[in-house]
Amino acid sequence: MPFSLFSPVPAPWCRSAALFALALGLGGCANFAGIGPKARMTEPQALGLGIAAAKTVPAPTGATPPAAPNAWWIRFGDAQLDALVAQALQNHPNLRIAQARVARTQALTDTLASTELPNVNGSVDATRQRFSANSIYPPPLAGGVYETANAQINAGYEFDLFGKNRAALDAALGQVRAAQADAQAAELLLATQVTRSYFTLLRINALQALAQRNLAQREQLLALVQSRLAAGLDSPTELRSSEASLPEIRQYAESLREQAALTRNALAALTGQPLGLQDLQAGTLAQIKPQAAPQAVPLDLLANRPDVAAARARVEAALSDVEVAKAQFYPNINLVAFAGLNSIGFGNISKAGSEQWGVGPAIRLPMFDGGRLRAQLKGRAADVDVAIESYNALVLEAVREVADQITTLQSMARQSQEQQVALTAAQTLQDIAAQRFAAGMSSRANVLNAQSAVLAQERQAIELRARSLDAQAQLLRATGGSVAAP
C-alpha cells in the first residue's frame, strides 16, 4: 500500500514515535544539579614576576598545541652543540616513548570518531542442534536433530542527540593534544640537558687549562725556592711550603679529569652514543655567544611551554569527560536493521522464502541506578578540579622558574662587572711585580704570587661565565625557548 503524507500512519510507527517522545520526556527529568567542578584556573592578572605584569593569551578549546620547541640552542653559536642536540633529539629512547604515547592516543581518537558513522557487519553461521520436544517447536522439528543456517548483514546507527559521542571525542582529542605537548616537553627537556651538560664540559675544560697553568707556575716557584735555598737566600720552611701546594693542585687537576669524563659519559647517554664521545672536540666558553638578561618576560610566553600546554589540554579533556558523564543521564537512541537468509537445513538457505529482515529503533533509558550515574559525574567533576589545580600549580612554578633565572642572570651580570674590576687590579699588580723584578727591586717569588692572584680571578671569571650560560639555557627552557634573542 503506497504511503503519503496524507495516509494514516501505521500503528507500529505510531508506537515507536510514542516511545521516542516518552524517552525524551523522561530524559528531561535527569538530575545532576549541584554536581560540578569547583576549582578555577588562575587568572594571569593575579601572577607577576616582580616586574611589569603581562597577561596570558588563553588557548581556546580545540586549539592545537604549540609547535615543537624551536631550535633555541643555535643562538649560542656553537656548531658542536647544535650537532649534539640534533643527535639527542634523533636517538634518545624517551622521545620514542613519548611519540608512541601520541600514537596510542590518536588510535583512541580514531576509535571514538568511528561512532559518528553507521556500523555495518556481516555474519554467517551454521549449527546442528536438537530441538526441544517440549518447547515452541512444532512437529517434525520437536525432538528432532536438524541443521540451521543463517547469513545476514547487521547495521546500526546511534543518534548522538545529547552530545555524548561528540564529548567523548573531544575528550580524546584533548588527550591527544596533551600527549603531543608531553612529547614536545620531552624534546625541550632533553635539549636543555644536552646544552647544560655541554656548558659544564666547557667549564671543566677551561678550569683544566687554568689548573695546568697554575701547576706550571707553582713548579716554577718551587724551582726558584730551591735555587734560593741553595744560595742561602731561603729557609727549608719556605721550600716545604712551596712543595706542599703541588699535591693539592695535582689532586684538583685529577678531580677535573674525572668530572670531564663523567660529563662526556652523560652527553654520550643523552645523545644515544654510549662511550662514543670520549674524543669529543668541544669549543670554549669564550666562543659561546651569550644571551642578554631580559628585564621583563611577558607571561604569555609561558603559554609556549609544552608542559603548560599539556596541562591546559588535560583540563579541556576533563571538562569534556564531564559532558560525557552528563549525557549518560539521557536516553541512548539507536536505529538497528538486519537483512539476510535463515533456514533449517543447509540446503534450504538458497531457496525462496529464506529471506529475513528487520528494522526499528532501540531506546535505552537509565531510570533506577542506585545513584551510579551521579557518583560517576561527581568523579568526573573531581577530575576537572584535579586538572585545574595541577595547571594552576604548574603555572605558578613556571613563573617562579622564570623569575629565578632572571634574578640569577641579572646578579651574574653585576658580579661579572665587579669581578672584571678585580681581575684588572690583579693584572695590574702582576705587571708591577714583573717590572720591579726586572729592575732588581723584587724577587721572582713576588711575581709568581701575583700570577697566582690573577689565576684565581680568571678561575672566578670562568665560574661566573659558566653559571650565566647555564642560567640562560634554563631561562630559555622555562619559557619554552621563546625569549627573544638580544
Residue found by looking up cell 528531561 in the block: 28
- pLDDT exceeds cutoff 70 at 338: yes
Report CA dihedral (105, 106, 111, 116) to the nearest 10 degrees: 120
Q: How many CB atoms lie within 10 A of CB 328?
A: 18
Residue found by looking up cell 654510549 in the block: 274
- Give the rounded percent of residues in the chain with a pLDDT score beyond 70: 79
**The pLDDT value given to residue 485:** 42
Q: Assign residue 480 a region: left if phi > 0, alpha if psi is -120 to 50, beta otherwise?
A: left
CA distance 58 to 313: 11
- pLDDT exceeds cutoff 50 at 51: no
Maximum average pLDDT range among 39-43, 429-433, 436-440: 429-433
- Give the rounded percent of residues in the chain with a pLDDT score beyond 90: 19
pLDDT band of 458, cuts 50, 70, 90: very high
- pLDDT exceeds cutoff 70 at 50: no
Domain boundaries defined on the chain: 31-478
CA distance 101 to 182: 9
Q: DSSP letters along 23-92, please? A: HHHHHTT---TT-S----PPPGGG---SSS-----PPPTTPPPPPSPP-GGGGG--HHHHHHHHHHHHH-
Condensed to tens digits (0 to 9), the pLDDT of residues 115-151 reads 777 888 888 888 888 988 888 888 888 888 888 888 8
Maximum average pLDDT range among 154-163, 197-206, 225-234, 430-439: 197-206
Beta strands 145-159; 332-344: pairing state: antiparallel
Maximum average pLDDT range among 22-26, 44-48, 202-206: 202-206
Amino acid identity, position 79: A
Residue in 275, 248, 240 with CA at minimum distance from that of residue 261: 275
Q: How many CB atoms lie within 10 A of CB 205?
A: 18
C-alpha cell at 275: 662511550
In angstroms, the Cα distances linking 194 to 85, 87, 124 are 6, 10, 60
Q: Does domain 31-478 have CATH number 1.10.10.10?
A: no
Positive or negative torsion for Cα 368, 369, 370, 375:
negative
* 219 Cβ neighbours under 8 A, 6+ residues apart: 246
Residue in 62, 61, 42 with CA at minimum distance from that of residue 388: 42
Condensed to tens digits (0 to 9), the pLDDT of residues 343-357 reads 888 778 888 888 888
**The pLDDT value given to residue 25:** 54
Condensed to tens digits (0 to 9), the pLDDT of residues 371-416 reads 888 888 889 899 999 999 999 999 889 888 888 988 899 899 999 9
- Note whether 145 and 130 are within 8 A (CB): yes
**The pLDDT value given to residue 24:** 52
Maximum average pLDDT range among 359-363, 393-397, 447-451: 393-397
**The pLDDT value given to residue 4:** 41
**The pLDDT value given to residue 479:** 86
Check whether the bond before 294 is cis (ω within 30° of 0): no
**The pLDDT value given to residue 236:** 74
- pLDDT exceeds cutoff 80 at 66: no
* 50 Cβ neighbours under 8 A, 6+ residues apart: 403
> Strands across the sheet with 332-344, in order?
119-130, 145-159, 332-344, 355-364
> Residue 274 in 3-state DSSP?
coil
